[in-house]
Chains A and B, each alone.
Chain A
């Protein structure tokens, strides 16, 4: 089971968890499993076939855009990080 870490804005959609487990040998499979457990996350991260452009996905701290994208291999002890941009401040 791979570990999936969620940026703060995404945690509400996963019952408030910062870190969850998901099964799969590629990123696509891991996300698919993730969305089965937490359907609200799918809306935010991958509503269509491709990953949303504003969410960055890292497998073992490397951006998957420079690996094999959704086909990136994910091992049992690997960590997947989902990170949208933050702006903070007084206004957004």
Chain B
């Protein structure tokens, strides 16, 4: 320290009273009962952002010393309040204190020993949640959007989405949800990758032929985004496992390929109050909607009964333009993200239809059926038929 700075320090020490960390702690505790609005003591952390991110005193506000004069009057408008300043060691806070006195603050205190001594005394501190440098770069395009931002990205990282099926719809959806940083993706699929899948199921590739789809999905997802935890369920959804499996998830993405599973999922999601993002495709056309229990219609409101087999061919029988489930699956991912972030208008009560050949999107209004056996007045979703016999599902192996 040079002569001039020593002089500055000497003056500051004369002018600005100091409290020890234990005195600060006592004063904060005494005023706690009065409620946040009545606090006449304000704790201000004057360190740099990187120091603040490593831990700070609970209840403190952050006004770095570099912006002190510019920000303090907005942060603490009442100059009669007791303002307790702290830094890392107790030096910067003294100098900041002298500045505040010059600006007209009447009761300025500096905490002797700073945050270092606070921590060494074993007192409480909080570490704010931050994205790592790698995450800040990876999600930078999300952070720039006001509707997402850091808070939204944390929401996505904390979210859990279950994908029923890692096939035509599940593949693109899982890919984009992983890219977006959805922290946990559950994938339930008992099937094995087949070459005929590769015309549309882009999570998989030629080398994965013969592998379980759920595991192939995990490999692809992990390579794209190691932040994502992939939970695989190599089984079929049935009445014995559905409640247990869906319980952990926030949103369910329906990429199933048969009616009984859709009815089963519908009923279980109503009982567990989980939104289901529904998509289906056939040749050149696709449909998409969001079933939000009790807020909008459920699957049974829309389709009380399945069609006879001759009116509901599978893709294996009738074919599908490969890119079409890609479009619908990505729209499902979009609706899922909207639900997770709580932004925009999810397709609740609206059926979006897409005709690829015509290049047309249309929308149909859907209503909750007051007599729906699953979500209506005298509903009993626990024991409704799933039509497994009617749809002639092959016997489970």
Residues of A participating in the B interface, judged by any CB pair closer than 8 Å: 7-10, 44, 52-56, 58, 61-63, 65-66, 81, 83-92
Contact = CB atoms under 8 A, between A and B. Distances in A.
Interface of B: 165, 167-169, 191, 256-259, 262, 280-285, 287, 302-309, 311-317, 320, 325, 353, 362-367, 369, 391, 393-394
A61 B167 contact: no
Contact of B312 (A62, A66, A83, A92): A92
Nearest to B255: A89
A8 B394 CA distance: 25
B258 A92 contact: yes
A44 B309 CA distance: 12
Given A87-B258, A90-B191, A92-B391, A81 B364 contact: yes
B258 A62 contact: no
Nearest to A11: B283
Contacts of A58: 364-365
B314 A90 contact: yes
A89 B365 contact: no
A8 B369 CA distance: 26
B189 to A, nearest CB: 11
Given A54-B307, A84-B307, A89 B314 contact: yes
B355 to A, nearest CB: 8
Contacts of B365: 58, 61-63
Given A56-B302, A91-B316, A92-B309, A86 B280 contact: yes
A54 B393 contact: no
Q: Output the residue of A61, A85, A87 with the most chain B CB within 10 A.
A: A87
Contact of A9 (B257, B303, B313, B394): B313
Contact of A92 (B284, B287, B313, B362): B313
A91 B303 contact: no
Contacts of B165: 89
Contacts of A55: 307
Nearest to B262: A87
Nearest to B196: A90
B16 to A, nearest CB: 71
23 contacts: A8-B282, A9-B282, A10-B311, A44-B311, A53-B304, A53-B305, A54-B305, A54-B308, A61-B365, A63-B365, A65-B367, A66-B367, A85-B259, A85-B307, A86-B280, A86-B282, A86-B312, A88-B280, A88-B281, A89-B257, A91-B393, A92-B257, A92-B309
